Chain A
Amino acid sequence: MDLITGILSTALLAGGVLALAALGEVLAERVGVVNLGVEGLMSLGALTGIATVAAVPSPALGFAAALGVGFAFGCVFAAATVLLRANQVLCGLALTLLGSGLAATLGRSYAGAPAAAVFPQVAVPGLADIPVLGPALFSQNVLLYAIYIALPVGLHLLLFRTRHGLNLRAVGESPAAADAAGIPVAAIRFWYVALGSSLAGGAGAYLTLAFVPSWSEGVVAGRGWIAVALVIFAGFRPLTAVAAALLFGVITALGFVGQARGWPVAPAILSMLPYLGTVAFIILPVVAWRRLRGWFAAPAALGLPYHRDVR
């Protein structure tokens, strides 16, 4: 019983980090921009969160500051890729190197120390007493419910049930057609890429303020890349992205539980599971269900800069 509660609880936290970053990437990729800088943005957000709570012990403030830092760096990335139309892969890699390097350099004084304040766990009266599931599902921090329910449902409705959502998907599928229809392509791309980056920054802070909760160099450990992969695996949809993130949370949690319980597998092998799982999960669906390729299809203009004057 404790085992299942532990796995679920850890899985929800680990998955929450991935879900937040993946939702941000869904936004960017739906408007046609591949943001490979998620890893760097998460590093910056992770440090911002820790540094903020060290000064003012408020996790909410730390999270907000990380959203702000993600947004600021997202604006730089969007300015380079959307306004100046530079190569998205290069700029993304640059952002990852810049963010990881900058966070590691500035964060040396915070290395190893636990977070000064973490998100408190709030027990939902009544529900938290349900055996097994209660402590895992209903005794978590408030942000978790926002990440798993409010945000994905909100984004799903925005993308698929509103005119604005139709416009922004059009920008990702065919910017020329969207432009001809009077949709401001550059503005939509710019703001949604910046907004997505902001969520990546928030994911970093969620990692260091709720899940790990401490800072060390390399604390993000490829989660940004896993989030990018999840978006592909989830067919660029917010609801499936969150479900996929939870699945990866479970894989991560299994590794932790295995280490804690002394399963006869080397801890290093268990730590590899999320990465190997991600590789398997972005290859398998394409191989296994060729007929479903359309469901997994990326926005048609993904990764392509839009030049109005070049046909």
Chain B
Amino acid sequence: MSWRFQRVPTVPAGAALAGRVGAILAALACVAAVLSLAGLAPARLGAEVIGSAFGSVAGLEDLGLLVTPLILTGIAVALTQRIGLWNIGGEGQFNAGALAATAVGLHAGGDDAWVLPLMALAGAAGGAAWILVPTLARAFAGVSELITTLLLNFVAALLVAWLCTGPWRDPSGRALATTARIPAELPPLGDTLHWGLPAAIAVAILAAGLLAFTRFGYEVRIAGANPGAALYAGIPVRTRIVAVMLLSGAVAGLAGTIELAGTVHRLQGGISNNYGYLGIMVAVLARGSCLGVIAGAVLMAALLNAGIVLQTQGVNTSTVLAITGLILLFTAVGDEIVHYRPVRRTRILG
């Protein structure tokens, strides 16, 4: 009698969740091991991180500021995941959105009540415009969207850096390498938090509703699950791909707008702060579920916050990026491992 592992095609939700939690814990254990080898005390650092994020109202508000863009960039990735594609250009669309919103915010004077919606519209349009070429190439020429969306991230970052050190530089000369302060601001919600967080949560709920309860969402899910069957059933797969990718870009652009109008207030290089890349992680953690993205964003924000709190200990945003990569690796492996069941090998013929 011997045992072997057999792959099962579908996994119950409970086992999948257990795999996720196990993978994250295993990755964090790896990080803790490395930190203690480097002479740091991981337990004390962990307590410090959790205390600073969840221990006070101010900490929670700071966490909320990080959660806001992560929900939106996570939704941007989750949307494309549902139709079987990867938008890994959220970073670029975030920048493009912030850029377009800045153009409106700097030049359209007047009441916040109409400047802010205009900025949001411009930001969404900017994000959608940034993904337009990869979208058309994917839908009509079958060019992998992975690389085209990613490469445009670098172009957007260069464009933003150039605009805020060159043509759009703060004319007062007081701030270096940024534009002037945008007069329009999102209304505050507490001390540092602003209405961007509820707006981001609303977008997540809207996206979940769109996918779950509309004909459009149904067609998108079918096209993602089985493009051949979708075509056979008369679903216009190409049109759906175009719509979903542009929507995804618009949401990432909106993330840039909200970060600009609520948190940063000036366009500057590095405004995107890796939110676009971390959004991939958020969407993966959420398994493409739009409401799950909110939970994924909180987890990711706590990690980012750890990078900020532990700066004096030699941990920084790059370290957080590395830890994110490790969690992603363990998650990918964990997702596959939960497919295996030990089965007893029975001997045929006596």
Contacts and interface: CB of A to CB of B under 8 A. Distances in A.
A197 to B, nearest CB: 14
A286 B142 contact: yes
A275 B149 CA distance: 11
Interface string A75-100: 01000100011110111011111111
B129 to A, nearest CB: 14
A152 to B, nearest CB: 22
19 contacts: A40-B325, A84-B333, A86-B332, A89-B146, A90-B284, A91-B333, A93-B88, A94-B332, A97-B277, A97-B324, A98-B325, A100-B322, A105-B322, A229-B147, A232-B144, A279-B133, A282-B144, A282-B148, A286-B143
A272 interface: yes
Contact of B332 (A87, A275, A279): A87
Interface in A255-311: 266-269, 271-272, 275-276, 278-279, 282-283, 286-287, 305, 307, 309-310
A46 interface: no
A236 interface: no
Closest 9 CB pairs of A and B: A101-B322, A98-B325, A97-B325, A101-B321, A268-B162, A104-B318, A94-B328, A90-B332, A94-B329
Contacts of B39: none
A101 B153 CA distance: 17
B328 A104 contact: no
Contacts of A268: 158-159, 161-162, 166
Contacts of B148: 279, 282-283
B225 to A, nearest CB: 16
Interface of B: 6-7, 9, 86, 88, 133-134, 137, 141-144, 146-148, 150-155, 158-159, 161-162, 166, 277, 280-281, 284, 315-316, 318-329, 331-333, 335-337
Nearest to A305: B336
A122 interface: no
Interface residues of A, number: 49
Contact of A271 (B142, B158, B322): B158
A96 B148 CA distance: 16
B151 A222 contact: yes
A27 B319 CA distance: 30
Contacts, number: 138
Contacts of B162: 266-269
Given A36-B146, A97-B322, A90 B154 contact: no
Contacts of A93: 88, 280, 325, 328
B132 to A, nearest CB: 12
A231 B66 CA distance: 37
A225 B325 contact: no
B119 to A, nearest CB: 24
Contact of B150 (A97, A104, A225, A305): A225
Contacts of B143: 282-283, 286
Contacts of B7: 307, 309-310
Q: Which of A95, A228, A278, A283 has the most CB of B within 10 A?
A: A283
B86 A89 contact: yes
Contact of A90 (B151, B161, B331): B331
A279 B326 contact: no
A221 interface: yes
A219 interface: no
Interface string A37-79: 0001000000000000000000000000000000000001000
Contacts of A305: 336
A275 B321 contact: no
Contacts of A217: 318
A294 to B, nearest CB: 13
Contacts of A94: 325-329, 332
Given A97-B277, A307-B7, 18 more contacts: A40-B325, A86-B333, A90-B284, A90-B332, A93-B328, A97-B321, A98-B322, A101-B321, A101-B324, A101-B325, A102-B322, A104-B318, A225-B147, A232-B144, A266-B166, A268-B162, A272-B158, A283-B143
Contacts of A97: 277, 281, 321-322, 324-325, 328
A279 B152 contact: yes
Contact of B333 (A80, A89, A232, A282): A80
Contacts of B337: 84
A269 B158 CA distance: 8
Nearest to A102: B322
A3 to B, nearest CB: 24
A307 B340 CA distance: 12
A105 B152 contact: no
Nearest to B165: A268
A226 interface: yes
A90 B328 contact: yes
B155 A272 contact: yes
Contacts of A283: 133, 137, 141, 143, 148
B151 A229 contact: yes
Contacts of B323: 101
Contacts of A278: 147, 151
Contacts of B150: 222, 225
A278 to B, nearest CB: 5
Nearest to B324: A97
B329 A95 contact: yes
B40 to A, nearest CB: 13
Nearest to A222: B154
Contacts of A286: 137, 141-143
A268 B155 CA distance: 9
Nearest to A88: B332
Nearest to B162: A268
A279 B281 CA distance: 24
A234 B218 CA distance: 38
Nearest to B320: A101
B307 to A, nearest CB: 10
A93 B40 CA distance: 28
A56 to B, nearest CB: 24
Contacts of A76: 329
Contacts of A84: 333, 336-337
